[in-house]
């Protein structure tokens, strides 16, 4: 009885399961038939086992739409979903066709495909046919064939200034500001006093009548055209000291002498080397400052010894001395030891020279010699040729004793005194300063004093501290130092620390390849390039490339105040440079430079000042027949081209080697007016 009841129970459960299966199948069939009449059709797959267990056999229930044709595009008109791990297996098994390999990755910048700084990159192909025509034509061309969209910006044509402004230096010839000075006894009138905003130069400074293209270097070291600097006062005042003389009616001649070396600069330089054998010009001594330089014969003759000299003098009674120096093709700037720091960094110069420079080094607790100490490299030399060194008059002997006392307190070592020259050496570190008696003056400068901060900074009667890590003292000899990342690269305030050396090398490689292309395609060696200005120099890569490509030119590297102060790196490389704000005029005479180079300058400075202000200043300092290369973003080029045309330049806008889709262009200009 129990057995029969159990069997009936099993039959009842099986019947229930079978009935449920039939009900689900009928319901599914009904739903399939109902929905299959729409735009999307259903096919049902079922898996069953009469025993209620999983089975490997399968059956297919077909919808009533069998043998009907359907448009399946609606079913696939959706974006392809991301590939799953399962689909990845299909790629590997070969059931699906593999995609084509990605194109070869070419690097045209200093960051590689992983976002890492690298110096392994390419500049790109250089179209010599295109480049050779850069100077032919004034039209802006659209390389893509589309009509170029130009801004509506237009500039009224600039007229010429009066003849009395042909040697105008705006910040040094501001008569109204000089009249308002409370005192001029410390040389304040020779410092920068720029016109107020809106009252600056708004015209083109004319050249003298009869102006001629400058005589090329090295002939220009010995003679220049009279009409280019038509002033005879120096001939009258200094002719007997072999500074300068007339050569016929049309030239000035430079015999190579100076007040303290009337027999010539070469003999004078030989004497210095014999006095101190460690002064090896062109090796350990590469960068020199000549104070009160006259017509810069000292610096002119050092160039043949692989030494670059910054020659400085004020615009005083001998106001054209710097103009003569620049006309000769020698680096020079108008500058004065007065009340503010000179615009050069700390530890800039390997040797500082003063020959009858008419500066009282011991006044005001030695504040002027302390400025020399700031700019002099650790272990560098100061050479002084002056009457107190060798004359035995009471007043002059007193001056010598004051100088000797001051240099001793500065821990300078008097290396040699011979004839009319005395040479001191600056210590390599702070140990001597720290061992002085308490209360000895001058004191150390405050810890928070930045010796590289020079823009409108007053002189300080204190000793600039040398870095404890020895940065600045250990530079390689020339020419190796040109391409070696210096220690002070780590001190520059930029948004990079680990990759600084790579950035330095990448910039050098970048500019070297570009300048090499210019030399080959544009025949730069045939150009009269002598005096060159890099208006935004960074680490000095452009100037280094000029040297590497053996162009017979010198470059003044300008570091704008709107960016990081890289001047210490520039000087450690064996180059020269200066701090400047391009919203203000530059401290040089009109017609100074043969070539102006500006990379990325205007896209930054236009946020601070009017671009026409900078362009007019460029016209003032550029020689007639000179050239300008501006590499900058596309959005500033229309305005720059219009300004160039308004100044009478001949501009040409071209693509870079990266092609027409690059975000920047090159504007090349020729100055045609005189």
**Model pLDDT for residues 130-140, shown as the tens digit of each residue:** 443 444 333 33
Sign of CA dihedral 69, 70, 73, 75: negative
Of 350, 380, 336, the C-alpha closest to 289 is 350
Q: Are 615 and 574 in contact (CB under 8 A)?
A: no
pLDDT given for residue 110 in this prediction: 56
DSSP states of 583-641: TS--SS-SS-EEEEEEES-HHHHTTTS-HHHHHHHHHHHEEEEEEEEEEEEGGGHHHHH
Please name the residue that has the structure tokens 């202000």. 613
- Domains with residue ranges and CATH for the chain: 262-466 (3.40.50.150), 475-673 (3.40.50.150)
According to DSSP, the β-strands at 376-385 and 664-671 are unpaired
- Mapped onto helix, strand or coil, the DSSP state of residue 597 is strand
**What does residue 369 show for φ and ψ, rounded to 5 degrees?**
-70, -30
pLDDT given for residue 497 in this prediction: 62
Please name the residue that has the structure tokens 């180059």. 575
Dist. CA 40–CA 417, nearest whole Å: 105
According to DSSP, the β-strands at 593-599 and 622-633 are parallel
pLDDT given for residue 114 in this prediction: 57
**H/E element, 355:** strand 349-355
**What does residue 366 show for φ and ψ, rounded to 5 degrees?**
75, 25
- Mapped onto helix, strand or coil, the DSSP state of residue 80 is coil
Of 270, 272, 238, 268, the C-alpha closest to 253 is 238
- How much helix, strand and coil, in percent to the nearest 5, is found in the chain? 30, 20, 50
Query: Low-confidence residues of the chain, pLDDT below 50?
Result: 1-11, 37-61, 72, 74-95, 125-151
**What does residue 669 show for φ and ψ, rounded to 5 degrees?**
-135, 145
pLDDT given for residue 104 in this prediction: 56
Peptide bond into 619 cis (omega under 30): no
From residue 652, alpha-carbon distances to 125, 126, 641 in Å are: 20, 17, 8
Q: Which long-range contacts (CB under 8 A, 24 or more apart) does 127-132 make?
A: 127/657, 128/520, 128/521, 130/654, 130/655, 131/517, 131/518, 131/521, 131/522, 131/654, 132/521, 132/522
pLDDT given for residue 390 in this prediction: 95
**H/E element, 378:** strand 376-385
Q: Are 611 and 643 in contact (CB under 8 A)?
A: yes
Dist. CA 617–CA 222, nearest whole Å: 29
- Other CB atoms within a 10 A radius of the CB of residue 205 amount to 22
Q: Are 570 and 540 in contact (CB under 8 A)?
A: yes
**H/E element, 76:** helix 73-76
pLDDT given for residue 238 in this prediction: 78
Please name the residue that has the structure tokens 């101190």. 276
pLDDT given for residue 42 in this prediction: 46
290 is written with which tokens?
């000549």
Query: Count of H helices and E strands in the chain?
Result: 19, 19
Q: Are 544 and 512 in contact (CB under 8 A)?
A: yes
106 is written with which tokens?
């070419």
pLDDT given for residue 14 in this prediction: 66
Dist. CA 595–CA 623, nearest whole Å: 8
pLDDT given for residue 263 in this prediction: 82
- Other CB atoms within a 10 A radius of the CB of residue 97 amount to 7
Q: What is the 3-state secondary structure (H, E, C) of 4-25?
A: HHHHHHHHHHHHHHHHHHHHHH
Dist. CA 162–CA 143, nearest whole Å: 42
CB burial readout 7-32, b (16+ within 10 A) else e: eeeeeeeeeeeeeeeeeeeeeeeeeb
């Amino acid at each position: 009885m129990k057995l029969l009841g159990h069997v009936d129970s099993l039959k009842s459960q099986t019947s229930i399961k079978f009935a449920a299966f039939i009900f689900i199948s009928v319901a599914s069939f009904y739903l399939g038939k109902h929905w299959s009449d729409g735009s999307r059709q259903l096919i049902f797959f079922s898996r069953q086992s009469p025993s209620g267990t999983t089975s490997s056999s399968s059956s297919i229930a077909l919808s009533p739409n069998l043998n009907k044709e359907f448009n399946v595009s609606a079913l696939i008109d959706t974006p392809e979903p991301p590939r799953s791990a399962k689909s990845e297996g299909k790629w590997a098994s070969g059931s699906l066709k593999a995609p084509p390999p990605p194109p070869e990755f070419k690097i045209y910048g200093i960051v590689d495909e992983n976002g890492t700084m690298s110096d392994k990159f390419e500049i790109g192909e250089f179209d010599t046919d295109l480049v050779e025509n850069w100077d032919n034509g004034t039209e802006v061309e659209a390389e893509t064939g589309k009509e170029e969209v130009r801004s509506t910006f237009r500039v009224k044509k600039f007229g010429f200034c009066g003849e009395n402004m042909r040697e105008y230096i705006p910040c040094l010839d501001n008569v109204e500001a000089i009249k308002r000075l409370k005192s001029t006894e410390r040389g304040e009138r020779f410092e920068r006093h720029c016109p107020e905003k809106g009252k600056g130069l708004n015209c083109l400074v004319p050249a003298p009548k009869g102006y001629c293209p400058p005589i090329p270097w090295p002939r220009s070291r010995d003679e220049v055209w009279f009409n280019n600097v038509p002033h005879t006062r120096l001939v009258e005042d200094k002719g007997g000291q072999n500074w300068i003389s007339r050569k016929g009616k049309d030239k000035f001649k430079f015999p190579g002498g100076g007040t303290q070396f009337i027999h010539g600069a070469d003999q004078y330089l030989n004497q210095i080397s014999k006095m101190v054998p460690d002064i090896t010009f062109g090796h350990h001594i590469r960068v020199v400052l000549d104070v009160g330089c006259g017509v810069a014969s000292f610096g002119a003759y050092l160039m043949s010894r692989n030494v670059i000299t910054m020659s400085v003098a004020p615009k005083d009674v001998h106001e054209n001395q710097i103009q003569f120096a620049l006309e000769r093709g020698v680096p020079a700037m108008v500058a004065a030891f007065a009340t503010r720091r000179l615009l050069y960094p700390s530890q800039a110069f390997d040797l500082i020279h003063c020959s009858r420079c008419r500066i009282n080094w011991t006044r005001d607790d030695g504040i002027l010699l302390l400025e020399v100490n700031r700019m002099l490299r650790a272990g560098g030399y100061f050479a002084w040729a002056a009457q107190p060194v060798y004359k035995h008059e009471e007043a002059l002997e007193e001056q010598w004793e004051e100088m000797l006392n001051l240099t001793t307190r500065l821990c300078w070592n008097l290396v040699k005194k011979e004839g009319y020259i005395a040479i001191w050496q600056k210590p390599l570190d702070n140990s001597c300063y720290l061992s002085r008696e308490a209360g000895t003056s001058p004191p150390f400068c405050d810890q928070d004093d930045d010796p590289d901060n020079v823009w409108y900074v007053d002189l300080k009667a204190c000793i600039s501290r040398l870095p404890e890590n020895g940065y600045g003292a250990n530079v390689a000899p020339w020419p190796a130092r040109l391409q070696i990342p210096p220690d002070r690269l780590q001190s520059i305030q930029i948004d990079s620390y680990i990759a600084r050396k790579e950035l330095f090398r990448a910039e050098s490689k970048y500019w070297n390849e570009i300048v090499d292309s210019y030399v080959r395609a544009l025949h730069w060696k045939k150009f009269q390039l002598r005096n060159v200005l890099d208006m935004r120099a960074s680490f000095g890569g452009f100037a280094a490339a000029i040297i590497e490509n053996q162009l017979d030119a010198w470059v003044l590297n300008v570091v704008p105040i709107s960016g990081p102060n890289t001047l210490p790196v520039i000087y450690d490389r064996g180059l020269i440079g200066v701090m400047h704000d391009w919203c203000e005029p530059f401290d040089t005479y009109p017609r100074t430079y043969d070539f102006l180079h500006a990379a990325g300058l205007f896209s930054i400075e236009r946020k601070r000042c009017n671009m026409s202000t900078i362009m007019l200043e460029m016209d003032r300092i550029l020689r007639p027949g000179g050239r300008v290369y501006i590499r900058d973003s596309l959005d500033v080029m229309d305005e720059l081209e219009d300004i160039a045309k308004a100044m009478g330049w001949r501009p040409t806008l071209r693509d870079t080697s990266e092609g027409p889709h690059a975000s920047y262009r090159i504007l090349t200009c020729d100055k045609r007016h005189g």
